[in-house]
Chains A and B, each alone.
Chain A
Amino acid sequence: MAASTASFSATFSSLSFHPHLPSCLSSLHPSFAPKHPQKPISLRFKFTSINANSSDINTTFFDTTDPEEIYTFSPPERPEDFVPPPSFDEGPFESEDEIAKAYEELYGAAYSGETFLGNDVYAMNSKIKKTTGFGSKAKKEKVRDGFEERVVQVRRVTKVVKGGKQLHFRAVVVVGDKQGNVGVGVGKAKEVIGAVQKSAVNARRNIITVPMTKYKTFPHRSEADYGAARVMLRPASPGTGVIAGGAVRIVLELAGVENALGKQLGSNNALNNARATVVAVQKMRQFSEVAEERGIPMEELWK
């Protein structure tokens, strides 16, 4: 839960999960004692035994955030003129018009179909993409948002049903700008073009960054597998170019890596090899990152 709160606090500024409560270990629940005769001391005993057993696992996380820290609930003081608000169905009854007006003030006419404040009811129509008619085939976005697409493999796959064979096309596409961002995607459709588009959409959804050095190569060797495909990647000196087979080469080229060696060690399934290179690249660390994590200067790493 702390990991999600960490990402959560990234979206909203400074969510302090543990505001500074005095840890009242001595005074347990002064307001709480009469209501619950079974004190939570028994619970805490259970917890100490759990902590003792897990001392071999590295739980440094629990040193700072103790789930038992929440002992008392000390809210801010009640202001003098605080009037408890009415429950939501006892308050002043609003007619439907008033409700609609209030909503429209906040959100605009959206999809309600009626306006009281004079907004345009058809405001959301610009979002409909025309599938037929005049403007339908006007602009097929060829090069949108700087990513280049390259098709790794297109295969015709069949599903056998009672009536016969149903044919689909499955496209594997790699999407990348040559600056270190790549993504691999799959898509199936009844037509090749549709499949390629779907796979491009899918690829844009899972994009990773490739750690690259100044000479457009990897920081170190790495191996990874995905399924039965195993890929080994190795950095190379400038001027080598990308020396790798099929899917691996396309992924590395679109990532912007210029000098690398790669080998498919396991199966030669194109999709799995592409995914394995992605996993291999994710395993790599820049020298500066490792130095920071370990807290030692970078010179030590080169010894």
Chain B
Amino acid sequence: MTRRYWNINLEEMIEAGVHFGHGTRKWNPKMSPYISAKRKGIHITNLTRTARFLSEACDLVFDAASRGKQFLIVGTKNKAADSVAWAAIKARCHYVNKKWLGGMLTNWSTTETRLHKFRDLRMEQKTGRLNRLPKRDAAMLKRQLSRLQTYLGGIKYMTGLPDIVIIVDQHEEYTALRECITLGIPTICLIDTNCDPDLADISIPANDDAISSIRLILNKLVFAICEGRSSYIRNP
């Protein structure tokens, strides 16, 4: 796997606050290799390792994108929801930024039914059939449509299971991670000091509370995906 330069510098990361962890009491002892110090009751992650893992994750993502694989970005914290959507749209990936419905991947056939319903509702809205129905029915359908839009809006272009899943906070998205593990889908995860690094395939120890740190890491990954995609377009 080729190692490329991903513009990861430690000063940038410190500025964004990537090195902060959670409080000392809430830590997971499996994270001890990645914690470098304890300051004011907060664990500080070792940024060299973070940088190393981040560059490996970027390499992997670049490789996969240059082979035309499909990605899914999962991040449901309401602070990070917008950045996740922006990042995924920029990178042309699927994303889930509102609640991760249980069984979205393991029960893919049922999710497909919902996607079909979503598509049919969109078609009806476009052709204007909704205006001809009585007001109550139209209101019900519109409500359903908006609900499906919030939950499934990011995966409406997904035809099958994704090949790589990027998860923003392991603690919050535990169900999503579990599903990927049972299905055998490789995962890249942002790990904080209270998470388990052995669950995901590549875990990047970073701060998942600050929006700036999530945005920084998403930036790098999105850049990697875009580069991979462009090289895939040039020579499929």
Cβ of B122 under 8 Å from chain A: yes
Would you call A12 an interface residue if the criterion is a C-beta within 8 Å of the partner chain's C-beta atoms?
yes
**A12→B66 CA distance, assembly (Å):** 12
**Please, how many angstroms separate the alpha-carbon atoms of A77 and B91 in the complex?**
25
Chain A, 135-178, contact with B by CB distance < 8 Å: what is the 0/1 string?
Answer: 00000000000000000000000000000000000000000000
Q: B1 touching A67 by the CB < 8 A rule?
A: no
Interface size class, chain B: 35 or more
The residue of chain A having its C-beta at the shortest distance from the C-beta of B55 within the complex is A75
**Which B1-46 residues have C-beta < 8 A from chain A?**
1, 3-8, 10, 14, 33, 36-37, 44, 46
List residues of chain B with CB within 8 A of the CB of A104.
157
Interface centre among B63, B158, B159, B200 (most CB of A within 10 A): B159
Q: Which of the candidate stretches A31-39, A185-193, A284-292 sits at the interface with the other chain?
A: A31-39
Interchain CB contact under 8 A, B203 and A1: yes
15 additional contacts, CB 8 Å, given A88-B90, A125-B116?
A: A1-B203, A5-B202, A15-B60, A36-B37, A40-B46, A85-B223, A88-B83, A94-B89, A104-B157, A106-B157, A111-B118, A111-B156, A113-B122, A114-B126, A121-B119
Let me know if A303 is at the binding interface, CB within 8 A. Answer: no
The contact string, 1 if C-beta is below 8 Å from chain B, for chain A 73-100, is 1011111001011011101001000010
Contact of B7 with A67 in the complex, beta carbons under 8 Å = no
Residue A108, interface by CB 8 Å? yes
Q: Knowing A35-B14, A88-B87 touch, does A77 contact B48 (C-beta < 8 A)?
A: no
Minimum CB distance partner of B223 in chain A: A85
Task: Indicate whether B231 reaches chain A with its CB closer than 8 angstroms.
Answer: no
- Between A and B, 15 residue pairs with Cβ closer than 8 Å are A8-B201, A35-B14, A75-B8, A78-B7, A79-B5, A85-B223, A91-B90, A110-B157, A110-B159, A111-B116, A111-B156, A112-B122, A113-B120, A124-B119, A128-B116
In the assembled complex, the Cα of A84 lies from the Cα of B92 at a distance in Å of 19
Compute the total of residue contacts between A and B using a CB distance below 8 Å. 141
Chain B residue, CB-CB nearest to A112: B156
Q: Are B119 and A43 in touch, CB under 8 angstroms?
A: no
Chain B residue with minimal CB distance to A11?
A: B186
User: Is A32 touching B48 in the complex (CB atoms < 8 A)?
Assistant: yes
Residue in contact with B198 in the complex, picked from A4, A7, A72, CB distance below 8 Å: A4
B interface, by DSSP: helix, strand, loop or mixed? helix
Residues of A within 8 A of B179 (CB): none
List chain A positions with a Cβ less than 8 A from chain B.
Answer: 1, 4-5, 7-8, 11-17, 19, 29, 31-32, 35-36, 38, 40, 43, 67-68, 70-73, 75-79, 82, 84-85, 87-89, 91, 94, 99, 102-104, 106-108, 110-114, 121, 124-125, 127-128
How far does the Cβ of A84 sit from chain B's closest Cβ, in whole Å? Answer: 5
Q: How far apart are the CA atoms of A99 and B33 in the complex, in Å? A: 42
Contact yes or no, A12 B92, CB < 8 A: no
Q: Is the CB of B36 within 8 A of A43?
A: yes
In the bound complex, CA of A68 to CA of B92 (Å): 37
Contact of A124 with B219 in the complex, beta carbons under 8 Å: no
A1-B197, A76-B4 known; A113+B157 contact, CB < 8 A: no
Is the pair B92, A73 in contact by a Cβ cutoff of 8 Å? Answer: no
Query: Does A8 contact B7, Cβ atoms closer than 8 Å?
Result: no
When distances are taken between beta carbons in the complex, the residues of chain A under 8 Å from B201 are: 4-5, 8
- What residues on A are CB-neighbors of B197 within 8 Å? 1
Quick check: is B222 within 8 A (CB to CB) of the other chain? yes
* Among candidates B37, B52, B113, B215, residue contacting A70 with C-beta atoms closer than 8 Å: B52
* Residues in chain A near residue B3, CB distance under 8 A: 19, 75-76
Contact indicator B112/A127 (Cβ below 8 Å)? yes
The CA of A111 and the CA of B91, in the complex, are separated in Å by: 19
Is the Cβ of A40 less than 8 Å from the Cβ of B36? yes
B63 → chain A closest CB, angstroms:
7
Closest chain B residue to A5, Cβ basis: B201
Cβ of B123 within 8 Å of any chain A Cβ, yes or no, is yes
Contacts of B203 in A (CB 8 A): 1
How distant is the Cα of A72 from the Cα of B10 in the complex, in angstroms? Answer: 12
Q: Which residues of A contact B116 (CB under 8 A)?
A: 111, 124-125, 128
Q: Is B49's CB within 8 Å of the partner chain A?
A: yes
Residue-wise interface mask of B (209-228) relative to A, using a CB-CB cutoff of 8 A (1 in contact, 0 not): 00000010011001100100
Which chain B residues lie closer than 8 Å to A14 at the CB level?
A: 1
A36 near B219 with CB under 8 A, answer no
Residues of B with C-beta under 8 A to A40: 36, 46
Query: Which residue of B has the minimal Cβ distance to A88?
Result: B90
B157 in complex: contacting residue of A88, A103, A128, CB < 8 Å: A103
Contact, CB under 8 Å: A29 / B48: yes
Cβ-closest chain B residue relative to A46: B32
Q: Is the CB of B1 within 8 A of A38?
A: no
Contact between chains at B51 and A73 (CB < 8 Å): yes
Do B49 and A88 touch (CB < 8 A)?
no
Give the docked Cα–Cα distance between A86 and B23 (Å): 33
Judged by a CB distance under 8 angstroms, whether B165 is at the interface is no
